């Protein structure tokens, strides 16, 4: 009998996956807290999960620990922490009174999260421009719903009375944004371990100071600004850039210039 070699065991990187595990743990605890009616704690857990999710990729790149296993594990954790947990929380918090419509909206959010992550995994290796995401990132969408529970007590009474409608619009809107073709900045080029202009450091410090001063107010504002930035870039900036490029190309043809 011929001996057949045993399949080679694949290794995994522990440190980046520990951050992913911490992100998943926060999402799981948030689910438990939402089930118990502690929506503020759930929202804080989702935000902490987003912090861990941001760090696991950074740690993987810093330590050279990127792997296909890590990518898949990260996506599964993201689906739980930013898809299922926020959808469950917002249903219990604001959309339960809408009956089947509220349930359908929350399910739509969870499904679009899964579709967004699947599309990202399929195109991650072939993406030509890594400076932008296609569609709203799932962590940003999940944190947006989480922030509704945090900021609701500070809204005027008129808006508090309409929180159900606000939550419904945000849930359905962020769901469709996740699977849209709208371009959102990835900030992957902003490495923490490389030199940046002095003004960049000042901007980072100012942003950090605002978040520390009043996180309940400024974190939702930052998320809202990020969502709007993708819409502005896709529907205003890109068409203008395209017109400028086409105009420059036509002018070059009239002058008889040839591209190098």
166 by Cβ neighbours in 10 Å (0-12 / 13-18 / 19+) ranks as middle
| pLDDT of 195 over the 90 cut | no
Element (H, E) at 185: strand 183-185
* Percent of the chain clearing pLDDT 70 (strictly above): 88
User: Is residue 8, in this structure, part of any structural domain at all?
Assistant: no
Q: Is residue 7 part of a domain?
A: no
Question: Which CATH number do you get for residue 74?
Answer: 1.20.120.1760
Over the stretch 215-252, which tens digit does the pLDDT of each residue have? Answer: 888 999 999 999 999 999 999 999 888 888 777 777 77
Please check whether residue 166 lies inside any domain of the structure: yes
Taking residues 16-27, report their average pLDDT: 93
Q: Is 58 part of any domain?
A: yes
Query: Is residue 237 situated within a structural domain?
Result: yes
pLDDT bracket for residue 256 (50, 70, 90): low
Q: Residue 213: in which H helix or E strand, if any?
A: helix 198-213
Q: Could you tell me which residues come within 8 angstroms of residue 94 by beta carbon, excluding any fewer than 6 positions away?
A: 148, 152, 163, 164, 166, 167, 168
| Contact (CB, 8 A) for 214 and 134 | no
Quick check: is 89 in a domain? yes
DSSP-assigned letter for residue 146: H
Residue 247 lies in a domain: yes
Q: pLDDT at position 16, please? A: 84
More confident residue, 4 or 186: 186
Q: Which domain holds residue 160?
A: 14-254
pLDDT score of 34: 97
- Per-residue confidence (pLDDT) for residue 47, from 0 to 100: 96
Q: What is the pTM of this model?
A: 0.86
Helices (H), 10-99: 14-35, 39-63, 68-78, 85-90
Domain-located, residue 4:
no
The answer to whether residues 173 and 112 touch, using CB atoms and an 8 Å cutoff, is no
d(CA 75, CA 53): 10
> What total of structural domains would you count in the chain?
1
| Tokens, residue 242 | 């395209």
In whole angstroms, give the CA distance from residue 179 to residue 173. 10
Confidence of residue 196 (pLDDT cuts 50, 70, 90): low
* Mean pLDDT over each residue of the chain, to the nearest integer: 86
pLDDT band at residue 6, thresholds of 50, 70 and 90?
A: very low
Q: pLDDT tens across 89-118, in order? A: 999 999 999 999 999 999 999 999 999 999
């Amino acid at each position: 009998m011929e001996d057949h070699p045993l399949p080679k065991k694949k290794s995994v990187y522990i440190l980046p996956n520990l951050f992913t595990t911490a992100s998943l743990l926060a999402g799981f605890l948030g689910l438990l807290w939402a089930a118990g009616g502690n929506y503020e704690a759930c929202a804080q857990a989702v935000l902490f999960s987003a912090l861990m999710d941001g760090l696991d990729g950074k740690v993987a790149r810093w330590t050279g620990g990127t792997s296909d296993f890590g990518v898949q594990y990260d996506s599964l954790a993201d689906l739980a922490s930013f898809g299922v947990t926020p959808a469950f929380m917002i249903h219990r918090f604001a959309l339960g009174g809408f009956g089947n419509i509220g349930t359908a909206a929350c399910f739509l959010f969870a499904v679009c999260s899964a579709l967004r992550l699947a599309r990202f995994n399929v195109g991650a290796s072939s993406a030509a421009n890594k400076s932008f995401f296609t569609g709203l990132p799932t962590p940003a969408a999940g944190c947006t719903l989480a922030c509704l529970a945090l900021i609701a007590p500070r809204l005027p009474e008129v808006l508090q009375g309409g929180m159900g409608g606000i939550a419904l619009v945000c849930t359905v809107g962020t769901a469709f944004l996740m699977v849209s073709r709208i371009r959102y900045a990835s900030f992957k080029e902003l490495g923490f371990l490389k030199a940046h202009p002095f003004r960049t450091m000042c901007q980072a410090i100012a942003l950090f100071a605002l978040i520390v001063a009043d996180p309940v107010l400024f974190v939702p504002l930052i998320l809202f600004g990020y969502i709007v930035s993708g819409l502005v870039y896709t529907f205003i900036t890109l068409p203008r850039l395209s017109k400028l490029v086409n105009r420059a190309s036509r002018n070059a043809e009239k002058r008889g210039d040839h591209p190098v």
